[in-house]
Amino acid sequence: MRHLGTKILKTDRLLLRPLVLNDAEAMFKNWASDPDVTTYLSWPAHQSIDVTRLSLKYWISQYDKKDFYQWAIVPEDMDAPIGTISVVDHNDSVAMVHIGYCIGKPWWGNGYVTEAFSKVIDFFFNEVEIHRIESKYDTRNPGSGKVMEKCGLLYEGTTRGSDINNQGICDSALYGILRSDYFQN
């Protein structure tokens, strides 16, 4: 495993890039202030653009770290991000990253998260040489699980009352993919 930090990645329809302070307005408007987007997340909808700016300043300050990965999801026909995908946890001793994502409601159901996640998976297995990628979701949010399945992650089980988000304590479904799974296909 060799950490490379948040590199710019491209897909057919998306640019995945580091966030910049000028993204504050788009982030606030496109997803961070929407309580429907944050329903199953661990952070509340932003009440002001100042909260968004504080989040951005923190993330931007982390980009110098090679083990920090936080991408803005930007459709090729837009100049502004519509969501993020990031490593929310990692364990170097087993070469594992845990991925989280969110996207603005107007872009739900268009395959953008699946496309972004697939590219991030490719990056981690081919460039960072990770052993395992995992993700989890509140079982009341099955759409998130569909993204994981489309990206090749396998269902590994549900743990009851094991996580917390804006809905309170919740059951969590865990999905994962190993390097050997990825290169076998």
Average pLDDT on 21-44 reads 97
The two three-digit tokens of residue 154, written as one number = 């396998």
| pTM, to two decimals | 0.96
Average pLDDT over all residues of the chain: 97
Pairing type for strands 96-103 and 132-138 reads parallel
Question: Which pLDDT score, from 0 to 100, does residue 127 have?
Answer: 97
Amino acid 81 reads P
Which residues are within 8 A (CB) of 156 and not within 5 positions of it... i.e. 6 or more apart?
134, 174, 175, 176
Question: Which pLDDT score, from 0 to 100, does residue 88 have?
Answer: 97
Would you say residue 84 has pLDDT above 90?
Answer: yes
Question: Which pLDDT score, from 0 to 100, does residue 185 have?
Answer: 66
Question: Which pLDDT score, from 0 to 100, does residue 68 have?
Answer: 98
**pLDDT tens digits, one per residue of 146-160:** 999 999 999 999 999
Task: Write out the CATH class of domain 9-133.
Answer: alpha beta
User: What whole-number percentage of the chain has pLDDT above 70?
Assistant: 99
Residue 62's pLDDT band, with cuts at 50, 70 and 90, is very high
**pLDDT tens digits, one per residue of 118-145:** 999 999 999 999 999 999 999 999 999 9
Pairwise CA distance, residues 26 & 120, whole Å? 22
